[in-house]
Amino acid sequence: MVRPLALPHLALLSLLLVPAACKDDVELAPKAEKLEEAAPKTEAATVFTVQAEGSAVSFEMQAPFERQEGTVPTQALSGSLHVDPHDLTKTTGLVMVDLAKLEIFMQKAEEEGDYGEREKSDVQNEHMRDWLEIGDDVPADVLKDNQRVEFSITEVKDVSTADVSAMEGAERTVTFTAGGEFLLHQRKSPKAVKMEATFHYQGDTPTTVEVRTVEPFAVGLAEHDVRPRTGFGTLAQKTLSTLSSKVAEEAQVSVSFTAVPAKG
């Protein structure tokens, strides 16, 4: 005769099974509170400071029946680049984004891929802030770290022209791939981002550089532990996999900004 499980045993069993059911089967990226800025690779490097004005950061998540777009205000971007105009392959830098004022807009589809009007949903904004753990119920110290997104540039390759100082004209545009680490939700992952930079010159001196992504780069939500949550530290019953018709498993991120030589 098989004895039924007592209530305490059933409760314990449910606690063991529910977390497993809530998680997506994806290996988490390594934990990190912040990224280190790579040291300049040459003494000839000039420090360029990222300007908040005119910057833009957005991401798109496209699923069969819902399309979501996230944006942050221009003041959210900061950072610096170490650039040697004679050899752009020696460029390093650290670009940071503050998600404190992140806004989510969405488009719904009655039929797959046939999206309707773009609108802001307070419910979707609350949900995304729960997923990223940047909501009102998050402890201040955790909130500060979770709001910060970083990209540490440690290598530059596939440069169309390495020596921008040898180019001619007031505007000199190059393309390249920036490699390094990407930090989101206190998880870091390697990234290679295709970018374009337009240097503005006065005579032989670069005065500004405009940088943008040539194409969006993908960020996996699950590997950065961005999952359905009902509050701080509480996973929801539904997972990214079960929500796949409405929520994409990757965010396609685009960035553009201007940087100027630091004074002194």
pLDDT digits (tens, 9 = 90+) for 57-110: 999 998 888 889 999 998 899 999 999 999 999 999 999 999 999 999 998 888
31 three-state secondary structure: strand
- Indicate whether 194 belongs to any domain: yes
**Intra-chain end-to-end CA distance of the chain, in Å:** 84
- Indicate whether 2 belongs to any domain: no
Question: Is residue 10 over pLDDT 50?
Answer: no
What is the number of alpha carbons within 13 Å of residue 75 lying toward its C-beta?
A: 2
- Indicate whether 215 belongs to any domain: yes
pLDDT for res 245: 55
pLDDT digits (tens, 9 = 90+) for 114-127: 888 889 989 889 99
* 174 and 214 Cβ atoms separated by less than 8 Å: no
- Indicate whether 134 belongs to any domain: yes
pLDDT for res 91: 98
Q: What CATH number does residue 144 fall under?
A: 2.40.128.110
- Indicate whether 161 belongs to any domain: yes
- Segments forming the whole domain that contains residue 104: 7-261
Model confidence, pTM: 0.86
Burial class (CB in 10 A: 0-12, 13-18, 19+), 140: exposed
- Indicate whether 182 belongs to any domain: yes
Buried b (16+ CB within 10 A) or exposed e, 118-129: eeeeeebbebbb
pLDDT digits (tens, 9 = 90+) for 223-232: 999 988 888 8
- Indicate whether 174 belongs to any domain: yes
- Give the Cα separation of 220 and 213 in Å (integer): 18
- Give the Cα separation of 26 and 38 in Å (integer): 29
Number of domains in the chain: 1
- Indicate whether 53 belongs to any domain: yes
